[in-house]
């Protein structure tokens, strides 16, 4: 009786596939009867449907049909399987295919096998509904690894509408949440940020709680792409819908705040964590993240206070010390940075390649090349492999000092060591040639980098434009700038600023300001360096009124004048003999918490000494020593020049010997010094130019 009922139940579908009547034996019918017993209550509606619909479909008969094919041919639904024509309607009719899939939902492996075979058939309609159906079957069957590979296909085929189907309940309550989380994970893994963010918000809005690990992944992607506002919005939404943050969440948020430059926000969250208000205690990664952020921002005192906590807990590592060492070097605290390296070793924290690269680069920036070379050798002795970063630092150091011969020697050594130079290596050497005015050599290295598979970037062309400007070859500078545009490279703010410097050097303020408008029209916002260059250009032209007008424009545009801005205006007033105005600007610097540099002090010392006001000159000299700003050769020259003008030759020689004793000018002789005194004003102008250039990077 049951077998007959099964046959009757199957008959509507078998009308579609008459050839399969022969395949279904009595045994098969008996088995089918057992499977379809739970569906007896559907029989009236199925019969009604079969009589009124041209394409009758019911789940149990299709189950029997697919099972029957598999029983008769174990290789069915594999790559080599040739399906009979009678089941092709399953592939061409989406509603039939979905019905077939749902009929075998309790056999997820068979469903997956059937789906994969069907998808490989020509003309198969890849729809979100089909993928949603098979994903539901796999999720309900606990086959999430198989669901993962199917979900990968969803992303590959860009069937992103599946998220909306899941949200709308097409996969049932049990499968929906894990499948949405699976897609969310894949979106983050494939860096499909927009889809990840969209899926997160859809889940949150419809009551599906995203897994905290996926939330953390979204936060990391947004942080790494500097989308700070969205990072905070996602975090806020996480808390709102009840996702419990983990230590990874907090560390990611802290890192985001630090990279955004909001170290105070990071410290606030740290305080909450330490006070257990956040429900999560900080770990060593937490402290390392904030120390790194504070060090990069230059807030070294706060970073060292956190280091003290790490010392107490004995959790300090190279990740703790490395950013502090780099931060100290960038502030000019060379000996303190070297001291931290010694402290590391003393505490049993072994320096890494990153540590040594920071030491080498810092020493090279400070011009202490012998010590940098020593660290380079020491690095090898500690079995730490010197890499392209190590070589680049040394090459940069020698190029900066004008020792191109030694830089090229290191470049050859790099290649002999089978270490591939990178684009930075070539840019450093191109800059080294440009510094010496060797534009032909710079061109050769530009061609060499192309032969090595590196295309010149915006920075490469900016170096060449700057080098051409320094040599007074504005036609060549414009040629490089135009070539950059022809190559499809978009000049950045620095590239435009370099062009502006060239035009100002020719005295063409009109063209300089025209370039500023051009960059603004292209959506490139002039930065502080751009304004400083233009203000300095106006000062040199004697247009102090316009310079102050541009100062105000700079403030209106949201930029804060820095020490270079003040120094340019102080120098302009000093050259005009406006010493009171210069003093007012100097006092304004201090009241705005700006630290005058060696250039600022040297400008004021030179101006006062040149006018015979040695008391004021020595006053600034004493103040710079109090503030730990080390005088350079030009500072001493300015004072010596003033003493010589006052016929105070003995004091001049005394100061000269003091300068030699401090190692400021070890190789100088008296004749050279007298010439330097005469060229002091020229050197100050050169120093100002160098200061602007260095601060533009």
- Per-residue confidence (pLDDT) for residue 425, from 0 to 100: 96
Q: Is residue 196 part of a domain?
A: no
- Per-residue confidence (pLDDT) for residue 628, from 0 to 100: 83
Q: Which of 506, 692, 504, 505 is nearest to 515 (CA)?
A: 504
Q: Residue 653 pLDDT > 80, yes or no?
A: no
**pLDDT tens per residue, range 198-210:** 999 999 999 999 9
Give the residue-averaged pLDDT of 74-89.
Answer: 70
Give the residue-averaged pLDDT of 99-110.
Answer: 84
pTM: 0.68
**pLDDT tens per residue, range 232-272:** 999 999 999 999 999 999 999 999 998 888 888 888 888 88
Taking the mean position of all CA atoms in its chain, how far away is CA 87?
A: 54
Query: Rounded to whole angstroms, how far apart are CA atoms 251 and 228?
Result: 15
Query: Rounded to whole angstroms, how far apart are CA atoms 386 and 363?
Result: 16
Query: Rounded to whole angstroms, how far apart are CA atoms 477 and 468?
Result: 5
- Per-residue confidence (pLDDT) for residue 667, from 0 to 100: 37
Domain count, the chain: 1
- Per-residue confidence (pLDDT) for residue 71, from 0 to 100: 67
- Per-residue confidence (pLDDT) for residue 60, from 0 to 100: 41
**pLDDT tens per residue, range 278-293:** 677 888 888 888 888 8
Give the residue-averaged pLDDT of 500-520.
Answer: 86
In this predicted structure, which of 18-27, 173-182, 213-222, 574-583 has the lowest mean pLDDT? Answer: 18-27
| DSSP-assigned letters across all residues of 574-638 | HHHT-HHHHHHHHHHHHHTTPPP-HHHHHHHHHHHHHTT-HHHHHHHHHHHHHTT----HHHHHH
Q: Residue 648 pLDDT > 80, yes or no?
A: no
**pLDDT tens per residue, range 115-164:** 888 888 877 778 889 899 999 999 999 999 999 999 999 999 999 999 99
Q: Is residue 226 part of a domain?
A: no
Pull the structure tokens for residue 530.
Answer: 């751009």
Q: Residue 26 pLDDT > 70, yes or no?
A: no
Q: Is residue 638 part of a domain?
A: yes
Q: Is residue 623 part of a domain?
A: yes
Give the residue-averaged pLDDT of 340-364.
Answer: 91
Is the model more confident about 654 or about 686? 654
* Residue whose structure tokens are 């300089």: 512
Q: State the pLDDT confidence band at 59, using cuts at 50, 70 and 90.
A: very low
Q: Residue 631 pLDDT > 70, yes or no?
A: yes
Q: What is the DSSP letter of 62?
A: H
- Per-residue confidence (pLDDT) for residue 670, from 0 to 100: 42
- Per-residue confidence (pLDDT) for residue 405, from 0 to 100: 94
437 phi and psi angles, rounded to 5 deg = 80, 10
Q: Residue 599 pLDDT > 80, yes or no?
A: yes
In this predicted structure, which of 87-96, 182-191, 377-386, 454-463 has the lowest mean pLDDT? Answer: 87-96
Q: Residue 676 pLDDT > 60, yes or no?
A: no
Q: Residue 418 pLDDT > 70, yes or no?
A: yes
Q: Is residue 693 part of a domain?
A: yes
| CB hemisphere CA count around 676 (13 angstroms) | 18
Q: Is residue 633 part of a domain?
A: yes
% of the chain residues with pLDDT over 90? 40
**Residue 682 lies in domain:** 596-697
Q: State the pLDDT confidence band at 580, using cuts at 50, 70 and 90.
A: very high
Q: Residue 34 pLDDT > 60, yes or no?
A: no
Q: Residue 2 pLDDT > 50, yes or no?
A: no
- Per-residue confidence (pLDDT) for residue 202, from 0 to 100: 94
In this predicted structure, which of 12-26, 265-279, 417-431, 531-545 has the lowest mean pLDDT? Answer: 12-26
Pull the structure tokens for residue 44.
Answer: 């009236």
In this predicted structure, which of 19-23, 83-87, 117-121 has the lowest mean pLDDT? Answer: 19-23
* Burial of 670: CB neighbours in 10 Å, binned 0-12, 13-18, 19+: exposed
SS3 state of residue 170 = coil
Pull the structure tokens for residue 94.
Answer: 């989406």
Mean pLDDT of the chain: 81
Q: Is residue 641 part of a domain?
A: yes
Q: Is residue 667 part of a domain?
A: yes
């Amino acid at each position: 009786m049951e077998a007959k009922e099964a046959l009757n139940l199957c008959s509507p579908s078998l009308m579609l596939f008459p050839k399969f009547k022969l395949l279904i034996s009595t045994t098969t019918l008996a088995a089918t009867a057992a499977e379809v017993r739970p569906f007896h209550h559907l029989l009236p509606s199925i019969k009604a449907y079969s009589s009124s619909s041209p394409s009758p479909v019911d789940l149990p008969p299709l189950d029997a049909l697919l099972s029957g094919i598999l029983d008769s041919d174990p290789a069915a639904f594999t790559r080599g399987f040739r399906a009979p024509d009678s089941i092709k309607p399953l592939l061409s009719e989406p509603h039939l295919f979905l019905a077939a899939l749902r009929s075998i939902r309790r056999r997820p492996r068979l469903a997956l096998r059937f789906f994969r075979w069907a998808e490989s058939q020509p003309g198969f309609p890849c729809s979100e509904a089909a993928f949603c159906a098979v994903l539901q079957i796999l999720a309900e069957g606990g086959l999430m690894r198989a669901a993962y590979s199917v979900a990968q296909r969803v992303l590959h085929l860009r069937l992103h509408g599946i998220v909306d189907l899941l949200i709308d309940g097409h996969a049932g309550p049990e499968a929906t949440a894990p499948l949405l989380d699976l897609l969310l994970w894949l979106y983050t893994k494939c860096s499909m940020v927009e889809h990840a963010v969209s899926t997160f918000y859809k889940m949150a809005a419809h009551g599906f709680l995203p897994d905290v690990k996926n939330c953390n992944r979204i936060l990391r992607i947004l942080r790494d792409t500097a989308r700070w506002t969205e990072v905070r919005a996602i975090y806020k939404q996480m808390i709102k819908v009840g996702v419990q943050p983990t230590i990874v969440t907090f560390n990611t948020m802290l890192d985001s705040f630090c990279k955004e430059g909001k170290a105070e926000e990071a410290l606030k969250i740290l305080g909450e964590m330490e006070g257990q208000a956040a429900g999560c205690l900080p770990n060593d990664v937490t402290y390392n993240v904030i120390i790194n952020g504070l060090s990069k921002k230059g807030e070294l005192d706060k970073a060292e206070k956190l280091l003290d906590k790490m010392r107490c807990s004995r959790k300090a590592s190279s990740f703790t010390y490395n950013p502090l060492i780099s931060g100290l070097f960038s502030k000019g605290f060379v000996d303190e940075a070297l001291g931290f390296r010694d402290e590391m070793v003393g505490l049993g924290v072994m320096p890494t390649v990153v540590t040594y690269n920071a030491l080498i680069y810092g020493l090279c920036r400070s011009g202490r090349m012998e010590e940098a070379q020593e660290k380079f050798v020491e690095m090898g002795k500690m079995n730490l492999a010197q890499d392209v970063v190590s070589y680049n630092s040394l090459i940069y150091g020698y190029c900066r000092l004008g020792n191109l011969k030694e830089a090229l020697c290191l470049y050859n050594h790099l290649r002999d060591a089978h270490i591939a130079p990178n684009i930075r290596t070539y840019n450093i050497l191109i800059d080294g040639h440009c510094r010496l005015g060797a534009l032909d050599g710079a061109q050769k290295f530009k061609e060499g980098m192309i032969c090595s598979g590196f295309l010149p970037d915006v920075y490469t062309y900016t170096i060449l434009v700057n080098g051409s400007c320094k040599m007074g070859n504005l036609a060549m500078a414009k040629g490089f700038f135009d070539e950059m545009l022809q190559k499809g490279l978009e000049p950045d703010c620095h590239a435009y600023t370099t062009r502006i410097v060239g035009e100002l050097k020719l005295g063409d303020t009109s063209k300089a300001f025209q370039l500023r408008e051009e960059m603004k029209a292209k959506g490139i916002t002039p930065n502080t360096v751009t304004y400083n260059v233009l203000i300095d250009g106006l000062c040199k032209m004697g247009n102090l009124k316009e310079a102050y007008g541009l100062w105000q424009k700079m403030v209106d545009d949201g930029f804060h004048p820095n020490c270079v801005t003040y120094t340019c205006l102080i120098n302009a007033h000093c050259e005009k003999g406006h010493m009171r105005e210069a003093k007012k600007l100097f006092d304004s610097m201090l009241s705005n918490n700006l630290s005058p540099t060696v250039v600022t002090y040297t400008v004021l010392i030179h101006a006062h000494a040149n006018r015979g006001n040695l008391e004021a000159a020595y006053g600034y000299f004493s103040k710079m020593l109090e503030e730990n700003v080390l005088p350079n050769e030009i500072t001493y020259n300015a004072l010596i020049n003033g003493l010589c003008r006052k016929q105070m030759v003995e004091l001049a020689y005394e100061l000269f010997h003091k300068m030699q004793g401090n190692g400021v000018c070890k190789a100088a002789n008296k004749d050279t010094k007298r010439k330097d005194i005469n060229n002091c004003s020229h050197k100050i102008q050169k120093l100002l130019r160098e200061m602007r250039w260095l601060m533009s990077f």
